[in-house]
Amino acid sequence: MLKAVNLTKAYGSHTALDHLNLEIQAGEIYCLLGSNGAGKSTTINLFLGFIPATSGQAFIDGVEVSVNNQATRDMVAYIPEIVNLYPTLSGMENLEFFSGLSGFQYTKQELGRFMEIAGLQASAFHKRVSSYSKGMRQKVGIAIALVKKAKVLFLDEPTSGLDPHASNEFSQIITQLSLQGVSTLMATHDLLMAKNLGHRIGIMHQGRLKQELISNEVSHVDLTRIYIDLVKEKEVNV
């Protein structure tokens, strides 16, 4: 479903992403781990077509992003670290707007159902977003992804700053979607979450994909050790 071939992004002499090769199947949840500046967000931005690649290709469902961005955009949904919404509009109105932008027509009830699936309480639907907590915004973000019926979900640090309960709810929804065949590419710092939620885990450092692991095959302790070693080792080399 998602494929990167030698995908590279350079800003002048600095290479933010270095020849990334990656393939994610339909329904698969792939977690990208890495410290700040490792290239996780760059990868997502390249798949979304927000920034042009320096070289290499990114494909979504066989369509190259840089060739037909419009077509690939139709297939994706994106939830950033902080879901920013229009503060003067209510959650429902935001959802209505973004679902409309994605070309879908829903009734208010249908939209409400999406919100419920995303875990937002009905009493909050019509309050202005400016009064929402981070978790509530995140839920609207999920609802926006849901209404779009996206084939691919891009998540950028989606659970940072969420309380454990909210974080757990979030994981459940992603798993649900995965069962329905939605592929997910998630960038995160959270090793435990990556281990529990992801099918595969990629560890990135300084723009390179250093190692790929299958989460069932590695314990949380091992994952932590591998991660720290990878990051430290390189720092010594540098």
Partner 1 sequence: MIQLVIQKELREIFRTAKVVWLLIGVLILMGLALYNGYSYYVSHSALLRESQQVTYQQFISQGDKNPHLGAHFGFYAYKPTAELAMIDNGIEDYTGNSFYLEPHKRGVVRFREVTDATGIRSFGFFNVGYFAQFILPLFIFLIAHNIFSKEWENGTIKMILSSKATTRQIFTGKLLACLILVFTLLVLLGIASLGLLSLGPDSNHLPQILEAYGLYWLGLAVFCLLITIIGVSVSLLTRNSSLSLVSLSGFWLLGVFLIPRLSSEISKRLYPSITSLEFENTTFHDKEYGVDGEGTKDERRAILEKETLKKYGVTRLEDLPVFYIPITIEHFEESDGKVMDRAYEAVETNEKKQNAVLLTSSVFSPFLAFRDFSMRMTATDMHTHNDFAEKAELHRRKVGVIVDDFYQQNTVAGNDFWKTVPQFAYTAPGIGWRLASAAPSIAILLGWTLVSVLLMFFSYRKMTV
Tally the residues of the chain: 238
User: Which class for 21: exposed (0-12), middle (13-18), buried (19 or more C-beta within 10 A)?
Assistant: exposed
Q: Which stretch binds partner 1 (CB under 8 A): 69-77, 169-177, 187-195, 220-228?
A: 69-77
Question: How many CB atoms sit inside 10 A of residue 187's CB?
Answer: 25
Cα–Cα distance measured from residue 213 to residue 34, given in angstroms and rounded to the nearest whole number? 14
Among 6, 11, 21, 51, binds partner 1 (CB under 8 A): 51
93 makes contact with partner 1 (CB under 8 A): yes
87 makes contact with partner 1 (CB under 8 A): yes
Beta-carbon contacts of residue 212 (< 8 Å; ≥ 6 apart): 200, 201, 202, 203
Among 23, 67, 68, 100, binds partner 1 (CB under 8 A): 100
144 makes contact with partner 1 (CB under 8 A): yes
In the complex, minimum distance from the CB of residue 143 to partner 1, in angstroms, rounded to a whole number: 12
Among 8, 42, 43, 45, binds partner 1 (CB under 8 A): 45
Among 82, 173, 218, 230, binds partner 1 (CB under 8 A): 82
Binding track, positions 4-43, relative to partner 1; x by CB under 8 A: ----------------------------------------
What the block records as the tokens of 124 is 């909050």
Cα–Cα distance measured from residue 210 to residue 113, given in angstroms and rounded to the nearest whole number? 41
Among 3, 27, 61, 80, binds partner 1 (CB under 8 A): 80
- The residue behind tokens 């992403």 is 17
Per-state percent for the chain, helix, strand, coil, to nearest 5: 45, 25, 30
Q: Can you give the binding site for partner 1, defined by CB under 8 A?
A: 45, 48, 50-51, 70, 73-74, 76-78, 80, 82-89, 93, 97-98, 100-103, 128, 141, 144, 148, 154
